[in-house]
Structure 1
Amino acid sequence: MSASPDFETLDEWIAWLEQAHPVHQIELGLARIQSVANKLGLDKLSAPVITVAGTNGKGTVVAAVESLAIEHGLSVASYTSPHLLKFNERIKFDGQPVSDQMLVEAFKYIAKYQGDVPLTYFEFTTLVAFWLFKSQPLELIVLEVGLGGRMDAVNIIDPDVAVITSIGLDHVAWLGDTLEKVAHEKAGIMRARRPAIIADPQTTELLLPEAEIRNANSCLAQKDYHYTETGQCWSFETKVKGQNLSFNGLANNDLLVTNLAGALEAFVLLYSTKISEKAVANAFHKLQFPGRFQYLSKEPAIIVDVAHNPDSAKVLNSKLQQLKGRGVDKVSAICGMLKDKDIASCLSQCTEVDNWYCIDLPGPRGAKGEELLAKLPEFARTDAKSYHFLVDAFDEYWQHQQQNEALVVFGSFVTVSLMLESWLELQNKLATRKQNEA
């Protein structure tokens, strides 16, 4: 066995990880990670676990459960992917990203003891998360599936509650080219005699047979628990262990209520005896989720969204439609996407976008702006342009920006990351221009 590396900084460890286990090389399967986890005692965690799968909305559920736990005074950890700005965002304790120091210690441990087992990037980082979770006294752990469910690395852990959000076609090379095949993969996180929340009523027909095959205790949205949405608020009702619970006037913060309600049901199933109406209200009022219809600026309205497949693009478009209903006259979009996504279908969903700025994304998976232009619907190509760099597209937008115009930057986690990285510089430009205009 070759000697394991012994770097002292997180940047060095990340560089090693990306070189030794390229993030874009995906090999689904549990045998590799299971063998290392068994050897290190990481195949079981010491707190109740909620595992979340689905095509879209997983991150919303994780963030909502996290917020609920924090407001109820519970120590909570979460594992998500990908990150937007820093790797640390993937592993959080009580909503805060883990420190560089803790990550370095965990990286050293897993690298030292993985032996000759060739772990993928995601398998390695999953074991890093589990080792860190074992080092802290926790009352709840929330795991987000990276890809699929059945053969995803986090699925070596038996969840106390499984939550499945939407089902759509994405990652077809790994998950299959029909909704039934995708549903089968996502349903792999369900466990016998344990709750399996089917959070999107539109997926019930796909997922209920899977729950029955696995003998899971299915929990159906709008049947076993109910929610209603009114403008920017929503209400929730459920019955757990003979106890009727209802919450009204909860904030949705421009997030999908199907996902928020699924998160609340999962939390209630585990902690019905500790539930507090005030804490629930506070949890949703304070809920912030970077990258999901996130406002960087209100005046002018500048929004980022990681929508990167047809279903999430459709949701984004409905939110843009609501914006126009609230007084926005025009919507411009800076869009960058990855080559392996269904670009044409995504762009065709965004009928509320009036003006397109298509950008190149870096790396081997990044599509060129020109490719996006060619796949825009015919009616949308009139004034559409392509740019090599996001900052150039933003400059062009700002020069022609009109009153009551909103900008949405979307298409990929990579696109949103680029915008967030550039935002401070762009803010300074905006401030300078406003001063000059005044």
Structure 2
Amino acid sequence: MDYQQCAEHLAGLYALAPAERVARRRNLPGLLDALGRPQDGLRGAMVIGTNGKGSTAAFAVSALSAAGERIGSMPSPHLQEPRERIRVDGRPIGRDAYAAAYREVLAVIGEHGLPVGAGAMCAAVAAAHFRQAGVTRVVAEASIGGRGAAVRFLDLDVKVVTGVGLDHAGVLGDTLGRIAAAKASAVRDGEHLVLGRLDPQAQAGVGEVLAERSGLTCWQVDREIRYADRPDGALDVSTPLGEHRALPCPLPGVHQHHNLALGLATAAALADRGHADLPSDRLLRPALAATRWPGRLELLTDARLDGWRGRVLLDGATNPQGVATVMPEIERLATAAPGAARGADTRAGADAPSTAVVFAAMRDKDVPEMLAPLPAPWPLVLTRTGSPDAAEPDALRTRLPAARRDRVHTAPDTASALRRAAELVGPGGLIVVFGSLRLVGESRTALGLAPA
């Protein structure tokens, strides 16, 4: 199998019925055993939460890399290509390396009769690659929940809960407390837990789980972990292992200050367990400044699509809490000077909107709440991604309040939706893309961007 065939095989696993996915998840421990337990050589952190997981993990990788560690990471989901899920020092591995690890796992599955679902396959392939590449320090992002996440079986003994919101209620529970408990249940006796800022209900849910555990070390934002903004936009962060001054936060949005503090605390927790060293601030500052996380308030100032040139803002907000968090930054960018691409034709009609939104979501999302913060004048282009769980554009439209449907358009796929939005805003306008990380990935591909 070459890389493309591996990607197609993985896509088939994602298309499995939910019940089949759950049944196959039980085979992951046996598959890892049959592979020779590649997870035994790994030490690191599992990052869990409703929002902020990817950014927190990216900051943790930057901090650990600054200390000279060779760090593997496992984001979830990928945006454009499956190999994005396996990174070394923040960069996706090559296609050949991915295919080699995938073939190794697939051969063992066939030999031992241990079929798995997509999440388990991703975890097994990553573990196999890290063993082959000699990577022993890992930051892994959970997909949904905690107790059911495939990366839980990699036995990483630092757990991080970034935050809890109402999302995936049909799987995790219909209250913040239940969702928080489902996420925290990944924590085992004797481990180190790093907690973000939590709603009181979520805090209570986590507390119920932790009361059943023993020998834990627990650090939380606003208690053992603190951070403060400086007038120049930098941060001061303190953890039980020390204080760090004037740290840069290159990712846009004030919510990223919380994620940077959590990422640094994650690195400190690994150091506290003896799994890593912490760098000096002299090394830490440039490493953090170089942190990038595509698809999260990612502004393309000179985007091009066919003959259109303008700005595109991509964000992976996939639930009401996430949208509410990033909306102030989206509105700030929308009202800032357009900064149209050099030589762009600015002859758009006087009544053309300067901003339009492209939106897609999974069927189980609270679409009305996700779209409620949008300014009423912004036209909305509803579409669907290639995900088997994606909602149809017409179904999304019917879920909107009647008053919001006047400026709504539909398109059958992501590329068509971007073209329609470009027509609406005209040259130099702004297209905002959010609602689904799959949508963000498909948009990056349609705009000619390579995986990052």
Task: Assess same fold via TM > 0.5.
Answer: yes
Specify the alignment match of 1:172 in structure 2.
169
Distance 1:193 1:352, change over 3 A: farther
Specify the alignment match of 1:306 in structure 2.
316
Equivalents in 2 of 1:234, 1:377: separation in Å? Answer: 41
Segment of structure 1 superposing worse, 24-33 or 206-215: 24-33
For 1:3-22, what aligned pairs fall within 5 Å after superposition?
A: 7=1, 9-19=2-12, 22=15
Specify the alignment match of 2:342 in structure 1.
none
Deviation at 1:191, TM superposition (A): 2.8
- For the aligned residue pairs, the C-alpha RMSD in angstroms reads 2.8
1:248 maps onto 2:246 in alignment: yes
Specify the alignment match of 1:417 in structure 2.
441
Contact 1:37 1:43 in 2 (8 A): yes
| Count of aligned pairs | 416
Q: Deviations over 1:125-150 (max 9, x none)?
A: 21111111122333521111122111
Equivalents in 2 of 1:352, 1:29: separation in Å? Answer: 45
Specify the alignment match of 2:289 in structure 1.
285
1:223 maps onto 2:233 in alignment: no
Segment of structure 1 superposing worse, 138-147 or 41-50: 41-50
Q: Deviations over 1:17-61 (max 9, x none)?
A: 443663664317864211221233326332421110111111111
For 1:32-431, what aligned pairs fall within 5 Å after superposition?
A: 32-42=27-37, 44-114=39-109, 115-202=112-199, 203-215=202-214, 216-229=216-229, 233-241=233-241, 244-255=242-253, 256-271=256-271, 274-297=278-301, 300-323=310-333, 326=336, 331-351=355-375, 354-401=378-425, 406-424=430-448
Specify the alignment match of 1:4 in structure 2.
none
Contact 1:28 1:152 in 2 (8 A): no
Q: SS in structure 1 opposite 2:448?
A: helix
Equivalents in 2 of 1:59, 1:277: separation in Å? Answer: 23
Segment of structure 1 superposing worse, 184-193 or 363-372: 363-372
What is the TM-score of this pair, normalised by structure 2? 0.83
Deviation at 1:363, TM superposition (A): 5.0
Q: Deviations over 1:361-391 (max 9, x none)?
A: 3454222323333333444333222222444
Contact 1:81 1:144 in 2 (8 A): yes
Equivalents in 1 of 2:377, 2:191: separation in Å? Answer: 43
RCO greater where, 1 or 2, for CA within 8 Å and sep 6 or more?
2
What is the TM-score of this pair, normalised by structure 1? 0.86
Q: SS in structure 2 opposite 1:320?
A: helix
Equivalents in 1 of 2:24, 2:203: separation in Å? Answer: 26
Q: Deviations over 1:336-362 (max 9, x none)?
A: 222222222211243477221222334
Distance 1:116 1:86, change over 3 A: same
Deviation at 1:326, TM superposition (A): 4.7
Equivalents in 2 of 1:353, 1:109: separation in Å? Answer: 53
Distance 1:327 1:15, change over 3 A: closer
Contact 1:72 1:274 in 2 (8 A): yes
Equivalents in 2 of 1:201, 1:178: separation in Å? Answer: 13
Q: Deviations over 1:226-255 (max 9, x none)?
A: 1124688342332435xx312224224215
Letter in 2 for 1:214: R
What percent of counterpart residues are identical?
Answer: 21
Equivalents in 2 of 1:89, 1:232: separation in Å? Answer: 33
Contact 1:34 1:43 in 2 (8 A): no
Q: SS in structure 2 opposite 1:218?
A: strand
Q: SS in structure 1 opposite 2:211?
A: helix
Contact 1:233 1:250 in 2 (8 A): yes
Distance 1:234 1:381, change over 3 A: farther
Q: Deviations over 1:267-296 (max 9, x none)?
A: 123337532212222122111111111112
Contact 1:192 1:217 in 2 (8 A): no
Q: SS in structure 1 opposite 2:406?
A: coil
Deviation at 1:95, TM superposition (A): 1.7
Task: Give 5+ residue unaligned stretches, structure 2.
Answer: 304-309, 339-352
Contact 1:251 1:281 in 2 (8 A): no
Contact 1:163 1:266 in 2 (8 A): yes
Distance 1:98 1:239, change over 3 A: closer
Distance 1:325 1:208, change over 3 A: farther
Q: Deviations over 1:290-330 (max 9, x none)?
A: 11111122684321112121111212213223335756795
